[in-house]
C-alpha cells in the first residue's frame, strides 16, 4: 500500500514536470508576525506542541544493541532512552526516585544498570529500582512505587519517538497517521549513525518554514547547490507530516527509465518533514568507484531555545552502509558542506529575518499558492494551540 503511494506520488510529479506545473494552494495565506515574536504565544507553543506531541529523540541505529542508552535534555526535561535486554525501547524522566538527581549524564553509552551518581541507587533498562544503598539503615523502599517515571515511547521505521508528558493519552502510532509506513521504505533501522552536531537558529517556526520551502532554493542557495535547481514544490500530507518533492528533479532522475526500474533515490527523493520538528533530506555520496555510491540523510531535529527568537537544531547524519575510508572522507566533507549551507545561508538569513520581524515594521508575512506546505504547517500549529489535552487524541484519528 505504502509502496503504491510512493509510485503514485512519483507519477504525479512526472505529470506535473511534463506540464511544467505544480499543484497550488487555493489562495495566498497571511501569518501574523506576532506568531513569530510574541513571548506568550511562544510559551504556549512550547507547552501545547513540544511538551504534548511525540518528538523524534533518537534513531534506531544510534542505539542498536541491548543496553544502549541515550540521555538528553529536551525542553528542560532530562530524558533517558534505553534499549532493554528484550530489544524494546523505553523512555524515562532521567530523575532519581530518591531525591530527584539526574541519574545518567547527557550522552550515549551502554549499561546494564543505571546508577545514580548521588547515593548510588540503581535502575535497570525497564526503569525498575534495583538497588538501594544501605537499605537496612535507609528503611525499606517499595520498589513498585519508586521506579523511573516512564514516558510514552515508540520505535517505528528506524526512528524513536518520545512524548515528554508521562500522563499523555495520545497514541504515538495514531499520531503518525501511517507516515511511518512510507518512511519505512528508507529502512533506517539498517542504516549507520555517522555524526551529529548542533546549530543555533531563529524562532523554531522560521527554521521549520525553511525546511518546507523549495521556493528559495535557486535564490538563497545559488552559490552552494541551488543554481540549477527549480524552486517548484509539491506537497503530500499524512496528517500534519509532509513530504516535499520537486517535479523537475524527479523527472531528471527518471528520464527514459521504465516504471519497474524506478530507483529508490527517485521514489524517496525530496524533503520529509515530521511534525512538529524534524526534516529529513537525502543525498547520494560518492565511493571510490561509482558503484560504491552510498546514500546518506541529514535528519534535523529542531527545538525551541530559551526565548522566541532562538532555536537549536541537531543535525544527525546517517548513511546506508558501513563506509570505506574514502567514503568516510567524502561523507565528512559532505556533512561539513550541509552544515555550512544551513548555518551560513538558511539560519543566517533566518536570524536576520527574525530581527526584521521584531523591529515591527510589518504585521503579516505571506505564504504563496506555491507554498502550500508552509500554509498547512501554520494551520496545524494553530490547531494544536486550540486543542485541549482531552481532545488531543481525536486530532489525529485512531488507526
Residue numbers at the binding site for ligand FES (CB under 6 A): 96, 98-99, 101, 116, 118-119, 121
For residues 11 and 131, which CB has a smaller minimum distance to ligand FES in the complex? 131
For residues 111 and 253, which CB has a smaller minimum distance to ligand FES in the complex? 111
Least separation in angstroms between CB 239 and Fe ion: 24
For residues 133 and 314, which CB has a smaller minimum distance to ligand FES in the complex? 133
In sequence order, what DSSP letters do the residues of 195-217 get, joined into one string? EEEEEEES-HHHHHHHHT--TTH
Q: Which three cell numbers stand for residue 286?
A: 560518492
Q: How far apart are CA 81 and CA 128, in angstroms?
A: 14
Least separation in angstroms between CB 129 and ligand FES: 10
For residues 118 and 215, which CB has a smaller minimum distance to ligand FES in the complex? 118
Range 291-350, binding Fe ion (CB under 5 A): 346
CB 263 within 8 A of CB 30: no
For residues 15 and 150, which CB has a smaller minimum distance to ligand FES in the complex? 150
Q: How far apart are CA 280 and CA 288, in angstroms?
A: 26
How many residues touch Fe ion under the rule CB under 5 A: the total is 1
Q: Look at residue 99 and give the partner it binds from Fe ion, ligand FES, none, a contact being a CB closer than 5 to 8 Å depending on partner kind.
A: ligand FES
Q: How far apart are CA 267 and CA 55, in angstroms?
A: 25
In sequence order, what DSSP letters do the residues of 89-129 get, joined into one string? EEEEE---TTT---SS-SEEEE-SSEE-TTT--EE-TT--E
Q: Look at residue 121 and give the partner it binds from Fe ion, ligand FES, none, a contact being a CB closer than 5 to 8 Å depending on partner kind.
A: ligand FES
Least separation in angstroms between CB 164 and ligand FES: 21
CA distances from 185 to 5, 120, 160, 179, 319 (A): 11, 43, 16, 11, 15
Contacts of 348 (CB under 8 A, 6+ apart): none
**Residue nearest Fe ion by beta-carbon distance:** 346
Least separation in angstroms between CB 16 and ligand FES: 58
Q: How far apart are CA 61 and CA 284, in angstroms?
A: 19
Query: H or E segment at 267?
Result: helix 264-267
Strand-strand pairing, 311-319 and 364-367 = unpaired
Q: Look at residue 346 and give the partner it binds from Fe ion, ligand FES, none, a contact being a CB closer than 5 to 8 Å depending on partner kind.
A: Fe ion
Least separation in angstroms between CB 344 and Fe ion: 11
Least separation in angstroms between CB 307 and ligand FES: 31
For residues 13 and 95, which CB has a smaller minimum distance to ligand FES in the complex? 95
For residues 121 and 236, which CB has a smaller minimum distance to ligand FES in the complex? 121
Least separation in angstroms between CB 226 and Fe ion: 8
2 C-beta neighbours (distance < 10 Å), count: 14
Residue 371 sits in the site that holds Fe ion (CB under 5 A): no
Q: Look at residue 278 and give the partner it binds from Fe ion, ligand FES, none, a contact being a CB closer than 5 to 8 Å depending on partner kind.
A: none
With cell 549507520, the residue in question is 192
Give the interface with Fe ion as residue ranges (CB under 5 A). 346
Amino acid at each position: 500500500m505504502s509502496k503504491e503511494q510512493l509510485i503514485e506520488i512519483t507519477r504525479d510529479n512526472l505529470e506535473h514536470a511534463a506540464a511544467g506545473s505544480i499543484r497550488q494552494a487555493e489562495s495566498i495565506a497571511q501569518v501574523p508576525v506576532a506568531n513569530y515574536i510574541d513571548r506568550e504565544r511562544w510559551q504556549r507553543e512550547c507547552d501545547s506542541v513540544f511538551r504534548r506531541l511525540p518528538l523524534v529523540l533518537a534513531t534506531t541505529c544510534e542505539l542498536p544493541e541491548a543496553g544502549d542508552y541515550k540521555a538528553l535534555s529536551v525542553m528542560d526535561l532530562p530524558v533517558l532512552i534505553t534499549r532493554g535486554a528484550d530489544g524494546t525501547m523505553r523512555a524515562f524522566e532521567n530523575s532519581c526516585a530518591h531525591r530527584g538527581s539526574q541519574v545518567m549524564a547527557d550522552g550515549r553509552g551502554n549499561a546494564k544498570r543505571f546508577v545514580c551518581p548521588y547515593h548510588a541507587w540503581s535502575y535497570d533498562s525497564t526503569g525498575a529500582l534495583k538497588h538501594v544503598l544501605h537499605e537496612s539503615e535507609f528503611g525499606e523502599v517499595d520498589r513498585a512505587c519508586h521506579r523511573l517515571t516512564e514516558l510514552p515511547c515508540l520505535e517505528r521505521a528506524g526512528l524513536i519517538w518520545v512524548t515528554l508528558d508521562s500522563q499523555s493519552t495520545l497514541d504515538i502510532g495514531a499520531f503518525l497517521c501511517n507516515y511511518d509506513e512510507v518512511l519505512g521504505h528508507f529502512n533506517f533501522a539498517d542504516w549507520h549513525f555517522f555524526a551529529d552536531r548542533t546549530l543555533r537558529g531563529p524562532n523554531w517556526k522560521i527554521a521549520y518554514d525553511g525546511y518546507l520551502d523549495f521556493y528559495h532554493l535557486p535564490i538563497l542557495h545559488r552559490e552552494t547547490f541551488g543554481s540549477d535547481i527549480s524552486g517548484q514544490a509539491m506537497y503530500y500530507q499524512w496528517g500534519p507530516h509532509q513530504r516535499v518533492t520537486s517535479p523537475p528533479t524527479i523527472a531528471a532522475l527518471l528520464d527514459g527509465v521504465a516504471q519497474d526500474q524506478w530507483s529508490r533515490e527517485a521514489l524517496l527523493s525530496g524533503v520529509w518533514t515530521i511534525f512538529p520538528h524534524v526534516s529529513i533530506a537525502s543525498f547520494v555520496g560518492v565511493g571510490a568507484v561509482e558503484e560504491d555510491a552510498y546514500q546518506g540523510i541529514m535528519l534535523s531535529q529542531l527545538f525551541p531555545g530559551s526565548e522566541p527568537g532562538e532555536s537549536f537544531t541537531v543535525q544527525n547524519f546517517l548513511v546506508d552502509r558501513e563506509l570505506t575510508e574514502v567514503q568516510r572522507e567524502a561523507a565528512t566533507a559532505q556533512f561539513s558542506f550541509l552544515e555550512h549551507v544551513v548555518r551560513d545561508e538558511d539560519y543566517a538569513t533566518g536570524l536576520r529575518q527574525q530581527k526584521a520581524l521584531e523591529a515591527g515594521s510589518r504585521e503579516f508575512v505571506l505564504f504563496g499558492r506555491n507554498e502550500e506546505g508552509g500554509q498547512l504547517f501554520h494551520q496545524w500549529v494553530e490547531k494544536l494551540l486550540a486543542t485541549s489535552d482531552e481532545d488531543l487524541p481525536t486530532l489525529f484519528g485512531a488507526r
